[in-house]
Amino acid sequence: MSIKNTPITVARGDGIGPEIMDATLRILEVAGARLDINEIEIGEKLYEKGIMNGISDESWDTLRDTKVFLKAPIFTPMGGGFKSLNVTVRKTLGLYANVRPSVAYHPFIDTNFPNMDLVVVRENEEDLYAGIEYSQVDGAVQSIKMITRAGSERICRYAFEYAKANGRKKVTCMVKDNIMKMADGLFYEVFQEIAAEYPEIENERYIVDIGMARVAANPNEFDIIVTENLYGDIVSDIAAEVTGSVGLGISANIGETCAMFEAMHGTAPDIAGQGIANPSGLLLGSIMMLTHIGQGDVAEKVHNAWLKTIEDGIHTGDIYKEGVSKERVGTDDFTKAVIERMGQKPEQLPARSYPKGEGGLVLPPLKERAAVSKELIGADVFVEWREADRASGADALADIARKALVDGIDLSIISNRGTKVWPDGGAETFCAPMWRLRYKAKSGSLSSTQITKLLDNLYSVGLPFVKVEKLYEFENGKPGFTKAQGE
């Protein structure tokens, strides 16, 4: 009985993309990968045709049909209204988990950390990457950090399930919840809830700044790191760099139904077309793809042939080191060397073995949660006001803001750039022209009508609002807002 091929979508990308994709596909073919390849064109050529997101409608159809995408790097135009295709694909296909393994290949690839083997599991859809930014006042911009319980639960769950499936021992959460008490606080709260379901896996938390410093100084301490989108972006690059080569970094983007696999590096325009690019990042990405589609047998063959090639000192220029490497080769000869070693195993580096059969992690559904009721207790009203640029000038603003009061509401504080500036503002505190007036109920809760009336009054007293945030208190006692610095 013949085994069915798995349909996948392939994009050769820009710069060195076509060279490394060609090398990868040649190796996969010789290894006997059971694939039906559907090619799509994305990136630079599409941007040149004025397709702002770099991908055509037909290509979306192909991606949705195959659900598996092996992608070479693509050029991302700066500015001019072009959207990052990488971010668009991740978000459109719901690829919520970005998995980035960083492994040292000591002594064959130079590194200070011979035993390093860590995986960053990065949340891929939320955080500052949601790209929700506003400017309502010239010279002041707000970028919204979006963290949800569901998004945090999915990524933390993925990290622990990945740990379980791959025999990993520890999951480290990196957050900055001492500062972003609500956003990072929620991420860490969910992490703790999920961690409790996996008592066999150790868990710990690092504040992200010291956590990243530890990754740079002693990456051997870490096994799996789970973190938010922006921190994950940074820490995975640090981790890849300290393995000795960013060129070997992999990025797997996993969703509930679709997945995308790629190298971590970009299009390397400086070496494109010269035949010297290292195809290893994309090849290693394709190995993750093979395990994902249940072709662990092929993944194992390719991975071991690649490890043997590295061990035999056959290296492309980016990882070549005099005294360590034996032969400096271009893309083509490197590819041939891997193909020649198909069926062999490394002798010093640990050989890889992958489970055969069904691949991919199947996660349980999100936890059910009872709805939590909330009470409206006030509103933060942002206004543009240019009469003062120091906190000591805020008394005048408070006088106007209080003229707008309605029954049952009081002006509680005024803050500027997150710091309380009234009452008792300091002469030193610099203020931007966007001020936040915090109005609160004198007691109990407020109606939306009271808030609307307050906003109307503000117009009447010459303080039109540019933005409003309602203030809620949740039934479980949690406030729906933070205090200003100094409040």
Q: Which of 101, 185, 247, 296 binds ligand NAD (CB under 6 A)?
A: 247
The verdict on 54 binding ligand NAD (CB under 6 A) reads no
Q: Which of 194, 240, 252, 268 binds ligand NAD (CB under 6 A)?
A: 268
The verdict on 76 binding ligand NAD (CB under 6 A) reads yes
The verdict on 74 binding ligand NAD (CB under 6 A) reads yes
Q: Which of 40, 190, 235, 277 binds ligand NAD (CB under 6 A)?
A: 277
Indicate the residue among 1 and 78 with the shorter CB distance to ligand NAD.
Answer: 78
The verdict on 243 binding ligand NAD (CB under 6 A) reads no
Tell the smallest beta-carbon distance from residue 280 to ligand NAD (Å): 7
Indicate the residue among 99 and 421 with the shorter CB distance to ligand NAD.
Answer: 99
Tell the smallest beta-carbon distance from residue 235 to ligand NAD (Å): 16
Lay out the sheet containing 434-441: strands in order across. Answer: 419-422, 409-416, 434-441, 374-384, 465-474
Q: Which of 109, 271, 349, 446 binds ligand NAD (CB under 6 A)?
A: 271
The verdict on 262 binding ligand NAD (CB under 6 A) reads yes
Distance of alpha carbon 349 from alpha carbon 109, whole angstroms:
11
Rg, the chain, Cα only: 27
Tell the smallest beta-carbon distance from residue 73 to ligand NAD (Å): 4
The three state secondary structure string of the chain is CCCCCEEEEEECCCCCHHHHHHHHHHHHHHHCCCEEEEEECCCHHHHHCCCCCCCCHHHHHHHHHHCEEEECCCCCCCCCCCCCHHHHHHHHCCCCEEEEEEECCCCCCCCCCCCCEEEEEEECCCEEEEEEEEEEECCEEEEEEECCHHHHHHHHHHHHHHHHHCCCCEEEEEECCCCCCCHHHHHHHHHHHHHCCCCCCEEEEEEHHHHHHHHHHCHHHCCEEEECHHHHHHHHHHHHHHHCCHHHCEEEEECCCCEEEEECCCCCCCCCCCCCCCCHHHHHHHHHHHHHCCCHHHHHHHHHHHHHHHHCCEEECCCCCCCCCCEEECHHHHHHHHHHCCCCCCCCCCCCCCCCCCCCCCCCCCCCCCCCCEEEEEEEEEEECCCCCEHHHHHHHHHHHHHCCCCCEEEEEEEECCEEEECCCCCCCECCCEEEEEEEECCCCCCHHHHHHHHHHHHHCCCCEEEEEEEEEECCCCECCCCCECC
The verdict on 211 binding ligand NAD (CB under 6 A) reads no
Q: Which residue is nearest to ligand NAD (CB)?
A: 266
Indicate the residue among 285 and 359 with the shorter CB distance to ligand NAD.
Answer: 285
The verdict on 368 binding ligand NAD (CB under 6 A) reads no
The verdict on 188 binding ligand NAD (CB under 6 A) reads no
The verdict on 229 binding ligand NAD (CB under 6 A) reads no
Tell the smallest beta-carbon distance from residue 156 to ligand NAD (Å): 25
Tell the smallest beta-carbon distance from residue 349 to ligand NAD (Å): 20
Q: Which of 6, 102, 267, 416 binds ligand NAD (CB under 6 A)?
A: 267
Indicate the residue among 75 and 222 with the shorter CB distance to ligand NAD.
Answer: 75
| Subset of 122-181 contacting ligand NAD (CB under 6 A) | none
The verdict on 278 binding ligand NAD (CB under 6 A) reads yes
What is the pattern of x (binds ligand NAD, CB under 6 A) and - over residues 295-324? -----------------------x------
The verdict on 233 binding ligand NAD (CB under 6 A) reads no
CB-count burial class (<10 Å; 0-12, 13-18, 19+) for 176 = buried
Indicate the residue among 73 and 151 with the shorter CB distance to ligand NAD.
Answer: 73
Range in contact with ligand NAD (rule: CB under 6 A) among 197-205, 262-270, 295-303, 476-484 = 262-270
Range in contact with ligand NAD (rule: CB under 6 A) among 2-10, 274-282, 345-353, 403-411 = 274-282
Q: Which of 249, 255, 281, 378 binds ligand NAD (CB under 6 A)?
A: 281
Q: Point out which residues bind ligand NAD (CB under 6 A).
A: 16, 20, 73-76, 86, 247, 262, 265-271, 277-278, 281, 318
